[in-house]
Amino acid sequence: MPRFMSRLFGLALLLAVVVSPMLARGTIAQDATPCPPLTEEESVAWATAYFTAWNSHDPAAITAFYAPDAVQHWGIGIDAEGTDELVASLEAFFAAFPGVRTTVDQVWMAGDTVIVRWISIGIQEGDYMGVPGSLETVTWTGISVMQLDCGLIVEIWSEADHFGRLEQVGIVPIAPEAEATPAA
């Protein structure tokens, strides 16, 4: 239960950090776009379609969900600005993780923003961001906050549990559990 609560707190913090400034500067305002915001059902369908494209590993299918000048904040590495940089980032990722599959765990929405908690499983077969391939199956979770304009991503923030992924392949040692210290 404590792990669930820490993740719930992490999600709340992510929402406060990302969505609150967007509200303050009016980027989530309903009058900012001529398109109506997605309904809850449409948000789930949109997120499912997006991750279906992601699982195709086809950059053209994925970038079809992005505005031409969209910004992808990866959380690690360099942000991708525009679809050309996004395609280069996608190709590098899919070259290292050719069989990765991602499933949608949960979808939330706030105006024109869709928030997705996802789970990925795959094998890092090649080098990625200085980490050599391990040929071990790893599972990691993440959250993507996607600001949409007429159904296209204009800006996206993705945060993933890369630390946990690196622990699973032995790059980062797993910390031993702390032993209880007797009270003095």
CATH number at residue 78: 3.10.450.50
* Nearest alpha-carbon partner for 106 in 67, 141, 54: 141
DSSP string, 146-182: EEEETTEEEEEEEEE-HHHHHHHTTSSPPPPPPPPPP
Task: Specify the pLDDT at position 184.
Answer: 63
Of 7 and 152, the structure prediction assigns the larger pLDDT to: 152
Domain for residue 175, yes or no?
no
CA-nearest of 54, 133, 40, 37 to 101 is 54
What is the per-residue pLDDT across 53-93, written as a single tens digit (0 to 9) for each? Answer: 999 999 999 999 999 999 999 988 889 999 999 999 999 99
pLDDT tier at 180 (50, 70, 90 boundaries)? Answer: low
Interval 108-156: pLDDT, tens: 999 899 999 999 999 999 988 888 888 889 999 999 999 999 999 999 9
Residues spanned by the domain of 103: 2-168
Is 62 inside a domain boundary?
yes
- Alpha-carbon distance of 136 to 113, in angstroms, equals 35
**177 is a domain residue:** no
CA distances in angstroms from 73 to 68, 144, 157, 170, listed in the order given: 15, 9, 5, 26
CB atoms within 10 A of CB 153: 21
For residue 91, being part of any structural domain is answered with yes
Is residue 19 assigned to a domain? Answer: yes
Q: How far apart are CA 51 and CA 46, in angstroms?
A: 9
The answer to whether the beta carbons of residues 18 and 157 sit under 8 Å apart is yes
- The residue among 76 and 159 whose pLDDT is bigger is 159
- Closest to 28 measured CA to CA, from 181, 166, 154: 154
Q: Are 142 and 161 in contact (CB under 8 A)?
A: yes
- What is the average pLDDT score of the chain? 83
Q: How many domains does the chain have?
A: 1
In a domain, 184, yes or no: no
- In this structure, is residue 181 part of a structural domain? no
For residue 28, is pLDDT > 70? no
Report whether 160 contacts 142 (CB < 8 A). yes
